[in-house]
Amino acid sequence: MSTAFLSDRVLGIAPSPSIAANALVTELRAQGRDIVNFTVGEPDFDTPAHILEAASLAMHSGDTHYTATTGTLALRQAICLKLQRDNDVVYGLDEVVAGCGGKHIIYHALAATLNRGDEVIVHTPYWVSYPDIARLNDATPVIIPGDESLGFKLSPAALEQAITPHTKWAILNSPNNPSGAVYSEAELLALAQVLRRHPHVLVMADEIYEHFVYGDARHVPLTRLAPDLKPRTLIVNGASKGYAMTGWRLGFGAGPAWLIAAIAKLLSQTTTCPSSLSQAAAVAAFAGDQAPIAGMREEYQQRRARILALLEGIPELSITPPDGAFYVFANVSGLMGKLTPQGDRLDSDTQLVDYLLRDYGLATVSGAAYGMSPYVRLSFASSLDVIEEGCRRLKDACNDLRSTATRNTRRPADGRLLTA
């Protein structure tokens, strides 16, 4: 099909790399390939039973019609309850809005506020869609390079340096996808101090992985620590990760009433409202039994411990253990410049990802997709058996690489090493 009919807007972005990676896994498996999938960005658990029951009841009670654009009253009440119970922050019914996933809320929030020439601050490693959503809305993403020595966290100095008179948004994702970084109270307060000096900057706090933190790490909302920033902060969250409801497509935003109203105006022209059944299910998720979250978190803790132990056995990799989410963002600089068994030189994490999939049936996502190389994101949202097999393949793939120094060598019958 000719691109002549396509807009500059759509031609200026790429498909979501993480979605593309998972789609490729599906395609290869359909062809009969044995693929271990470490690209997975969703829980592998089933949606809890009480949530399914709520959706079924809604379906059979005739709750299958349009709802208010911002969400049903019951859902908005449940969101407010969840925010107060879990995060110790208070929002009114006119300060929350439901959407078809967290990504839906992010897109509409940026669409409601950005003009050509505006800037959106994004810190690497970032969730893959932030920069392109900014571009789709005629803004310029300002990318702050990340630093593994800082735990992949944004420093106050780097934030200060990035802010200009054109800055409209600063996006903060904690727990972070892909690094698993979780900001401490002290770190958030330091960032808040910078933001106070720039009242023209809106703050987006993406907290979708809030329920999955490990060890001594604790998730703390920015607006609880810095309530004076609440009038210009949008919390983005949803049911997808914490309640194993990715396919239900139900996210929400919590922020100032003027912003929520603007988002709702756009939603009224795009999707009208989220699925009524998904909304009923989300009421049960946010306001019902929270025990399933603890069970999933305990399972992720075990998987995290196992994958970290297995990765320790691959000396070419360097790992900063994640404090949250369900990914390991592995530093693969030790593999750069090495040769595959076919003699191909690996000069990028993208080439490494291709090698792992082509030769070992191991699907991963390159650090380049998250704006930071050379890294590879490895998901542990899979069973222990899958993690064991995936790490075995990864170790084999690394062991089969050769250094460039041995590229033109051959070993004669007497065992001496000769260089051609």
Q: What is the pLDDT of residue 1?
A: 55
| Phi then psi dihedrals of residue 140, to 5 deg | -110, 120
**How do strand 202-206 and strand 167-173 relate by DSSP bridges?**
parallel
Q: What is the pLDDT of residue 370?
A: 97
Please name the residues in contact with 218: beta carbons below 8 A apart, sequence gap of 6 or more.
Answer: 182, 184, 185
Cβ atoms of 56 and 257 closer than 8 Å:
no
Please name the residues in contact with 56: beta carbons below 8 A apart, sequence gap of 6 or more.
Answer: none
Could you read off the pLDDT tens digit of each residue along the chain, which spans 420 residues? 588 899 999 999 888 888 888 889 999 999 999 999 999 889 999 999 999 999 999 999 999 999 999 999 999 999 999 999 999 999 999 999 999 999 999 999 999 999 999 999 999 999 999 999 999 999 999 999 999 999 999 999 999 999 999 999 999 999 999 999 999 999 999 999 999 999 999 999 999 999 999 999 999 999 999 999 999 999 999 999 999 999 999 999 999 999 999 999 999 999 999 999 999 999 999 999 999 999 999 999 999 999 999 999 999 999 999 999 999 999 999 999 999 999 999 999 999 999 999 999 999 999 999 999 999 999 999 999 999 999 999 999 999 999 876 544 433 333 333 332
**How do strand 233-238 and strand 251-254 relate by DSSP bridges?**
antiparallel
Q: What is the pLDDT of residue 18?
A: 83
Cβ atoms of 100 and 251 closer than 8 Å:
yes
Query: Whole-angstrom Cα distance, residue 416 to residue 114?
Result: 67
Tokens of 342: 């076919």
Cβ atoms of 327 and 367 closer than 8 Å:
no
Residue 308 burial (CB count, 10 A): 14
Give the relative orientation of helices 276-287 and 73-87 as an angle to the nearest 10 degrees: 30
Q: What is the pLDDT of residue 205?
A: 98
Please name the residues in contact with 184: beta carbons below 8 A apart, sequence gap of 6 or more.
Answer: 217, 218, 220
Q: What is the pLDDT of residue 405?
A: 64
pTM of structure:
0.93
234, 354, 363, 409, 410 from 239: Cα distances, Å? 17, 32, 26, 56, 57
Task: Report CA 158 to chain centroid distance, whole Å.
Answer: 22
Query: Whole-angstrom Cα distance, residue 34 to residue 192?
Result: 48
Q: Which of these, 105, 50, 128, 75, lies nearest to 251 by C-alpha position?
A: 105
Cβ atoms of 252 and 238 closer than 8 Å:
yes
Structural domains of the chain ordered from first start: 3-45+292-402 (3.90.1150.10), 63-288 (3.40.640.10)
Q: What is the pLDDT of residue 2?
A: 80
